[in-house]
Amino acid sequence: MDIIILNNIYHVIDAISYGLYAFLVGGLLLGFHRKIIARIQGRPGPPIIQYLIHTFKYYLKEISIPITAGNPLYIFMALMGIMVWLTALYLGVVFKTSLLILIGLYVLQKIVEHGCGLSSGSPYGKLGGVRSVFSAAAEVPLFAAVGIIYILTQSLIIKDIISYQLLNGPIIFKLPFAAFAFFILLISKAPNSPFGIVKDKSIVSGYITEHFGILESLILISDAIAWFVLLWLFIAVFIGPIVILNPLLTLIGMVILTFIISIICALTPLLTPNHSVMLQILITALVIIDLLHKSATI
Amino acid sequence: MTPEKKSGIISLIIGIIGFACIIFYSNNVLLIYLGTALFTPFMIYGIGMMVNPKTKRSEEGRIPFRGW
Amino acid sequence: MDIGKIWNYISKPEVVPRLFAAFLCLILAIEFFVPTTYYKDQLYPKDIPQSQIFKSSLAPYDRGGVPLIKPADIKTQYPQFEPIRGKITAYLTPLSQWLSEKTPYFGTTIVSTPGGILDEILYYTRGMDTILESLTLLISFMIFSWIYLNRERVE
Amino acid sequence: MSLNIDSIAGVFYGYIPFGDIVFYFTEFSLIGFIIALFFTLVVYLTKPEKQLEFQIGDFGDKLNYVSLEELKIRRLMAIVCGICTAFAMLTGDLFDYALFLAVIGIANMGIVSAVKKEGVLSAAFYYGIIAMISTLPLFGASALILAKTGTLSILELAKNSHDLLFQKIIYAVGMVGETGIAPFYAAKAEMFRAPGAPYILMIHLSSLLIIVRTVEIMLNVH
């Protein structure tokens, strides 16, 4: 009996340390992202650990719940961000289960954005939330990409996809369209991206306008974990076991990917909501045509 | 008690009960991991509310330094 | 041609249904020419239209059988889950029994027990569908009645 | 090709039979089911927020409330929508799934129909038209699949290959209309401007979960 409990405690500590690792790595990468954008724009930029400093600073700030907020949704949404991405971390990185579950969890991130925006009752938050609903088009290429991957590997379990790549080499060369769709997703999740209409500065801070203090700190934590998980997923699904089986190489791969994405983010303007959505729909159409072509040939 | 403090205490209670459940009544590793994912944010929020600084507002529901 | 103008045009709510309808027409027009096959051994077979008429007063829905004694002829996907299927399919209330003796068109009315809304629940195979079908009606009725009762309300 | 549900939706845990309609549990569907039910609970507990609105051509903001009687009908619709979403995650029958989608579509309109705002109501009207049109491809595709294969059960259809690509496309088009994704989202996004966050959120949650679930079905049925 005691052994089971000790074992369980061991697993809990294991899980929490995984989460902490993902948060630290993700936070540092996001700080790095900010630094590179600053350097490209000719500014010195904040130190790389700025993201983590922000998180800790907000964690110790006082909050007060706005009178317009709808509770407990207002608080629960900030918690849900971490829940979603910790679940994605465990199911994806630790247990390597189905890719479809991870896509479902990614989709829940939209619910978090929307819920944060609408539950506060602030007009800026509402605009951010409605824009987040608009940009749901970013997920559709993902589903098509999942279909293409399934046609190629006959499995959506990440473990199977990795072992497929062990035999046949990286998928990125076989499915460039699917990889491109996934890469667009990474870009649209990055801060200051051309698709970042949700956090456009013209609507203050978008959906996190009314989530300040500790609630903002929670959202920053979830964003850092999300960045880690998404980069890991891209590397695992498209580049494969050469990089993913060695933690150090994985870290280097993540840094390189963040570098590429930062350069793209720094050099592109922010699109208007309609244009951002329509561009994503064009990409969707491209990937769906690829999917139909692939499934017709098999 | 302010509603903020109350929400912190409630989430701390939920977190502690949840962790106790997954530690004492679970024998599946996947379930423990998912339970950790579910209850860790409650713990983070609850602890954060406990270390939250004392309010600078003169009265509940009023924003400091701005009158009104 | 300005692509931005097109993008702005198709993002209007009133344009979206037209767009969707056109898209659907396109898909269905393509599908119309796709060759397909018919599988003979159907799970939920129907008689050839008009084949039962004047032979049975329960016309399109007559599956045979005697209530609680002899099960009717029903095919199911998972027979192991439905040990008493078809036992009550032929059940008629006394009134419907009397009506069915008087007219040969009883099966086409909605009040006939085997058939109409309730046929699947009596076939004992697709009960969940029956619940959902009635739920759809019920919910639309609820929405309508709420709007009707509160039509005078102003914000 | 040896395909099974395990390689798409994770470990298969078991099923509940309701006659011919079998509800089955996989890792994926269990997580979806729990999320939908959990959210329904949160929506039930949450008070609607009070929404501040800009006034165009005027000073000051307008505070929008959700009145009690409006709250009751909208909460009921949100709960119906949540429960239907939760069970749509589990169902193992194409026709039953289409029916769940129809109920969700109607409940979605019910959630916003009580709001007395012109923009929101007209957006809901256009969404309703799309949802109504899309029942044709949805039920039509399940009828076509039944005619071609003789069964509607996803578990049976997943066992061997049937060459259902075009039927699946029609089914997906029906889902696209019913949930209003991508290019057809505009009508639905306007609906989200209505006050009452938790209920509006239910519309969004249901459509997103349904999309993921449909992808799973499309991959299973082949």
Range with lowest mean pLDDT among A127-131, A274-278, D41-45? A274-278
Range with lowest mean pLDDT among A73-87, A193-207, A260-274, B13-27? A193-207
Interface residue C110 vs chain D (CB under 8 A): no
- Per-residue confidence (pLDDT) for residue B60, from 0 to 100: 60
Nearest CA-CA distance, residue C154 and chain D, Å:
7
CA-nearest residue of chain A to D161? A298
Q: What is the DSSP string of A198-211?
A: GG-GGGTTGGGSS-
Residue numbers in C near D129 (CB within 8 A):
17
Interface residue D123 vs chain C (CB under 8 A): yes
Confidence of residue A33 (pLDDT cuts 50, 70, 90): very high
Is residue C28 a contact partner of residue C35, using CB atoms and an 8 Å limit?
Answer: no
More confident residue, D31 or A244: D31
Domain membership of residue D135 as a residue range: 3-220
pLDDT for C42 beyond 80: no
Q: How many CB atoms lie within 10 A of CB A41?
A: 10
Which contacts (CB < 8 Å, 24+ apart) does range A204-208 have?
A204/A124, A205/A124, A205/A128, A206/A113, A206/A117, A206/A124, A206/A125, A206/A127, A206/A128, A206/A131, A206/A132, A207/A113, A207/A114, A207/A116, A207/A117, A207/A125, A207/A128, A207/A129, A207/A132, A208/A116, A208/A125, A208/A128
- Per-residue confidence (pLDDT) for residue A27, from 0 to 100: 92
The DSSP H or E segment spanning D28 is helix D27-45
d(CA A156, CA D134): 29
Nearest CA-CA distance, residue B52 and chain A, Å:
6
Nearest CA-CA distance, residue C145 and chain D, Å:
11
Range with lowest mean pLDDT among A228-242, C102-116, D68-82, D89-103? C102-116
DSSP structural state of residue C111: T
Dig out the tokens for D105 from the structure: 């579509």
Residue numbers in A near B16 (CB within 8 A):
none
State in Å, rounded, how far the first CA of chain A is from the last one: 53
Domain chopping of chain B, boundaries: 3-51
Is residue A227 a contact partner of residue A262, using CB atoms and an 8 Å limit?
Answer: no
Is residue A103 a contact partner of residue B46, using CB atoms and an 8 Å limit?
Answer: no
CA-nearest residue of chain B to A6? B23
d(CA A128, CA A200): 8
Nearest CA-CA distance, residue C30 and chain A, Å:
14
Nearest CA-CA distance, residue D111 and chain A, Å:
15
Query: How many beta-carbon contacts under 8 Å exist across C and D?
Result: 149
Interface residue A277 vs chain C (CB under 8 A): yes
- Per-residue confidence (pLDDT) for residue C114, from 0 to 100: 43
Contact A67 D198 (CB under 8 A): no
Dig out the tokens for A276 from the structure: 């951002």
Q: How many CB atoms lie within 10 A of CB A142?
A: 23
The DSSP H or E segment spanning D23 is strand D21-26
Short-list A268, A298, A277, A287, CA closest to A135:
A277
Chains D and A touch (3+ CB pairs under 8 A): yes
Among the partner residues A12, A79, A214, nearest to B42 by beta-carbon distance: A79
pLDDT for A28 beyond 90: yes
Residue numbers in B near A221 (CB within 8 A):
44
Among the partner residues B4, B11, B32, nearest to A64 by beta-carbon distance: B4
d(CA A133, CA C11): 13
- Per-residue confidence (pLDDT) for residue C109, from 0 to 100: 66
- Per-residue confidence (pLDDT) for residue C111, from 0 to 100: 56
Domain chopping of chain A, boundaries: 2-297
d(CA D150, CA D161): 13
Contact B3 A71 (CB under 8 A): yes
Query: How many beta-carbon contacts under 8 Å exist across A and D?
Result: 148
- Per-residue confidence (pLDDT) for residue D81, from 0 to 100: 92
CA-nearest residue of chain D to C152? D116
pLDDT for C119 beyond 60: no
pLDDT for A91 beyond 80: yes
Instruction: Quickly list H helices, B25-52.
Output: 29-50
Interface residue A20 vs chain B (CB under 8 A): no
Beta pairing partners, A290: none
Chains C and D touch (3+ CB pairs under 8 A): yes
Mean pLDDT of D196-216: 86
Mean pLDDT of C45-51: 73
CA-nearest residue of chain D to C78? D20
Sequence letter at residue D56: I
- A72: preceding bond cis by omega (within 30 degrees): yes
Residue numbers in C near A274 (CB within 8 A):
7-8, 11
pLDDT for D112 beyond 80: yes
> pLDDT digits over B2-42, tens only?
788 888 899 999 999 998 988 888 888 888 898 898 899 99
d(CA D42, CA D221): 34
Among the partner residues A111, A123, A129, nearest to D208 by beta-carbon distance: A111
ipTM: 0.86
Phi, psi (degrees; rounded to nearest 5) at D109: -70, -35
- Per-residue confidence (pLDDT) for residue B58, from 0 to 100: 64
d(CA A134, CA B59): 40
Substitution target in D15, D16, D18, D20 with the highest count of C β-carbons within 10 Å is D20
Substitution target in B2, B6, B40 with the highest count of A β-carbons within 10 Å is B40
> What is the tally of structural domains in chain D?
1
Contact D147 C132 (CB under 8 A): no
Nearest CA-CA distance, residue C24 and chain A, Å:
16
Interface residue B64 vs chain A (CB under 8 A): no
Interface residue D38 vs chain C (CB under 8 A): no
Short-list A70, C12, A296, B12, CA closest to D78:
A70
pLDDT for C116 beyond 50: no
